[in-house]
Amino acid sequence: MNGLLITFEGIEGSGKSTQIELLRTRLESLNLPTTITRQPGGTRIGESIRKIVLNPKNTALDSRAEVLLYAADRAQHTAEIVQRELEADRICLCDRFADSTTAYQGAGRAIDDADIHWLHRFALQGCMPDLTLLLDLPEKDGLARAAKAGEPDRIEREALEFHARVRQGFLGIAEQEPERVKVIDALPSAETVAQSIWSHVSPVVERVR
């Protein structure tokens, strides 16, 4: 199998969407078939789950219900989209994946590590990213950028301390899995960030070409 799963992670306002589009353009210019997808969402069922978890009116959502909704989205998305793309030897670029649950629900909401690990095992059935690009920046800068993009969703409305825990959660994953997770400084210009991303993507792509 020559497919690749490359995931983008980071706090709010880290510029993932811009960078995913830039990477797709670059990969397609090399004739590498590429698909962009996202979590939560990417499937019809997942988009319904996305509406529930991001709706600012859902302030009553319990943390355990929240983590299960994200896991349900991931199980559906992996079975319906990711597996299919990898089997078709495509490069699948996913805007958020399991690390977001570890960071937001694990570090952010203090859900037990063991529970998070079990949920990943159950939802992913062994489907792990080949490479993860963690776009890192201070939470204050990220939230300021996100605020420019419009009305904040349920998660963006969380306190600065929550986003600080999420950022540290992501950095903790990168420390534990340096081979898979590459930390990218997200503060410079989009062009500079794209170059830095490419320096990590190109060797991985070379392996399957």
Residues near ligand TMP, by CB under 6 A: 12, 38-40, 70, 95-96, 100-101, 104-105, 155
Instruction: In whole angstroms, give the CA distance from residue 67 to residue 190.
Output: 32
The tokens of 76 are what?
Answer: 């559906």
DSSP 185: E
Residue 89 vs 112, nearer CB to ligand TMP: 112
Residues 6+ positions from 1 with CB-CB distance below 8 Å: 86, 87, 89
Residue 167 vs 205, nearer CB to ligand TMP: 167
User: Closest distance between ligand TMP and the C-beta of residue 34, in Å?
Assistant: 19
Residue 4 vs 107, nearer CB to ligand TMP: 107
Q: CB–CB of 202/6 below 8 Å?
A: no
Residue 3 vs 42, nearer CB to ligand TMP: 42
Q: How many residues does the chain have?
A: 209
DSSP 106: I
User: Closest distance between ligand TMP and the C-beta of residue 29, in Å?
Assistant: 26
User: Closest distance between ligand TMP and the C-beta of residue 134, in Å?
Assistant: 13
Strand partners, 131: 6
Residue with the CB atom nearest ligand TMP in the bound state: 104
User: Closest distance between ligand TMP and the C-beta of residue 208, in Å?
Assistant: 25
Instruction: In whole angstroms, give the CA distance from residue 76 to residue 72.
Output: 6
User: Closest distance between ligand TMP and the C-beta of residue 175, in Å?
Assistant: 20
Residue 43 vs 205, nearer CB to ligand TMP: 43
Comparing C-alpha atoms, which of 41, 23, 31, 47 is closest to residue 82?
41
